[in-house]
Amino acid sequence: MFDSFWTLFAHDIGIDLGTVNTLVAIKGKGIVIREPSVVAIHKKTRQVLAVGTDAKRMLGRTPAVIEAIRPLRDGVISDFDTTEAMLRHFIQKVHQNPKGSGFRLPRIARPRVVIGIPSGVTEVERRAVQDAALSAGARQAFLIEEPMAAAIGAGLKIEDPEGNFIVDIGGGTTEIAVISLGGLVLNRSLRVAGDEMDQDIINYMRMRYGVLIGERTAEDIKIELGSATVQTHEKEAVVRGRELASGLPKSIRISTAEIREAISETIMQIVSSIHDILEETPPELLSDILERGIVLTGGGALIKGLDKRISDETKMPVLVADDPLTTVVRGCSKVLDDLDLLSKVKVTGGLR
Ligand SMILES: Nc1ncnc2c1ncn2[C@@H]1O[C@H](COP(=O)(O)OP(=O)(O)OP(=O)(O)O)[C@@H](O)[C@H]1O
Ligand SMILES: [Mg+2]
């Protein structure tokens, strides 16, 4: 990946430590890691067996001695040791020399790291992320709030005196923020996002058909059929699960309309929070937003028709950012290029 060891000195990195996906970008080089936030560990020895894509394949399929863990839930660290192991794995993966000799970085060559975190996290949770990054090999770890990183990544002019409205719908959290003059004027972090929709689908299949499906299947259905408005081409898909009554496998044909109904309450919660924040927005900023539009980022922005639904219910223009799954990490890496901006937008960070 790198030309020589010495180039390591320049490799400051931006990390989007997401509940569902972790992305790492190297300053000046772009995104180098994009993997699920999953770690597989041996239950008895606590040894890490796999991280990322390899570990995700094991979710729901592990034998008794192996556990596949998602160390972040609802946007916060629920398992500190595993989060640290995951961060260490990714930071070291970025810094491995081409022959992969497992060489460890001397302190001077350790990266400066900018990490996007949900805006609703407590001081204790922030410290947990920072400590995890420092003990995973970072020389300095700066934290910036996810909606700020998303806005910067989406190319919004956040330092202007005009208002910007950003909604980042991830796996664990939905971040809604109004940004002006480099700061969050208003923000709300809802612990409801893509994961909740997966649970909605699991519940729907159980209640309506008496069939049990796993989280991965639910996510696949959501990505394929999930929508927030009626689609011109409504689709159907076959879902395989286990019938609760008989304990045997069963296939069910389900439609876009059913999945829309299943996730509708979660969509409603997101839409009504956006509504609440708009109501609290000062009128001057509101008129800027009316001009610039509400910008959607995060994987949840890809739910079909969500932009239209939000627009219908708020009477505001709504745009989906380019490549919404990478907006936060691109924002994190942009602030590494602009240390003035970093000092303005960081919530915490510095030397150990
Ligand atoms: N095409 C798609 N349609 C609908 N949902 C999608 C699509 N692609 C990804 N998602 C969903 O987006 C979510 C992941 O988005 P993202 O990577 O932005 O979250 P995250 O940053 O890991 O989570 P958080 O920001 O809450 O910590 C998952 O719930 C995933 O199922
Ligand atoms: Mg995110």
* H-assigned helices in the chain: 53-56, 80-94, 123-135, 146-153, 194-209, 215-225, 256-280, 283-292, 306-314, 327-337, 339-345
Q: For residue 221, say whether it is annotated as part of any ligand binding site.
A: yes
Tell me the average confidence (pLDDT) per consecutive run of 10 residues in the chain, 352 residues long. 45 91 92 95 91 87 84 81 89 67 58 89 86 88 95 96 97 96 94 96 98 95 97 94 97 97 98 98 96 98 98 97 98 92 83 46
Q: For residue 19, say whether it is annotated as part of any ligand binding site.
A: no
Nearest-angstrom CA–CA distance, 113 and 138: 6
Enumerate domains of the chain plus CATH numbers: 5-149+327-351 (3.30.420.40), 162-192+263-325 (3.30.420.40), 194-262 (3.90.640.10)
Q: What is the pLDDT of residue 137?
A: 84
Q: What is the pLDDT of residue 119?
A: 85
Q: What is the pLDDT of residue 7?
A: 43
- Find out whether 189 and 118 touch, Cβ atoms under 8 Å: yes
Long-range contacts of 101-105 (CB under 8 A, 24+ apart): 103/5, 105/8, 105/137
Nearest-angstrom CA–CA distance, 103 and 110: 12
The atom number, within ligand 1, closest to the CA of 20 reads 22
Closest residue CA from atom 15 of ligand 1:
299
- Distance from the alpha carbon of residue 325 to the mean position of ligand 1, in angstroms: 7
Output the ligand 1 site: residues, CB below 6 A. Answer: 16, 18-21, 75, 146, 170-173, 193-195, 219, 222-223, 226, 298-300, 302-303, 325
Q: What is the pLDDT of residue 352?
A: 44
Q: What is the pLDDT of residue 1?
A: 44
Q: CB-based burial of residue 160 (10 Å sphere; 0-12 exposed, 13-18 middle, 19+ buried)?
A: middle
Q: CB-based burial of residue 214 (10 Å sphere; 0-12 exposed, 13-18 middle, 19+ buried)?
A: middle
Sheet with 236-243: strands ordered across: 211-212, 236-243, 249-255
Nearest-angstrom CA–CA distance, 294 and 286: 10
- Find out whether 116 and 144 touch, Cβ atoms under 8 Å: yes
Q: The tokens of 226 are what? A: 């999930």
Q: What is the pLDDT of residue 95?
A: 75
Q: What is the pLDDT of residue 185?
A: 96
- Distance from the alpha carbon of residue 170 to the mean position of ligand 2, in angstroms: 5
- Distance from the alpha carbon of residue 135 to the mean position of ligand 1, in angstroms: 27
**Ligand that comes closest to the CA of residue 199:** 1
Model confidence over 285-314: pLDDT tens digits? 999 999 999 999 999 999 999 999 999 999
Q: What is the pLDDT of residue 167?
A: 98
pTM of structure: 0.91
Given the DSSP bridges, would you call strands 48-51 and 346-351 parallel, antiparallel or unpaired?
unpaired
Distances (CA, A) of 1 to 4, 99, 297: 9, 9, 29
Q: CB-based burial of residue 315 (10 Å sphere; 0-12 exposed, 13-18 middle, 19+ buried)?
A: exposed
To test the pocket of ligand 1, the residue of 87, 303, 325 to mutate (highest count of ligand atoms within 8 Å of its CB) is 325
Closest residue CA from atom 6 of ligand 1:
299
Distances (CA, A) of 175 to 109, 155, 157, 205, 236: 34, 17, 18, 28, 31
- Find out whether 335 and 14 touch, Cβ atoms under 8 Å: yes
Nearest-angstrom CA–CA distance, 298 and 165: 14
Model confidence over 56-70: pLDDT tens digits? 888 777 777 888 899
Q: What is the pLDDT of residue 298?
A: 98
Q: What residues are paired with 22 via a beta bridge? A: 17, 35
- Distance from the alpha carbon of residue 263 to the mean position of ligand 1, in angstroms: 14
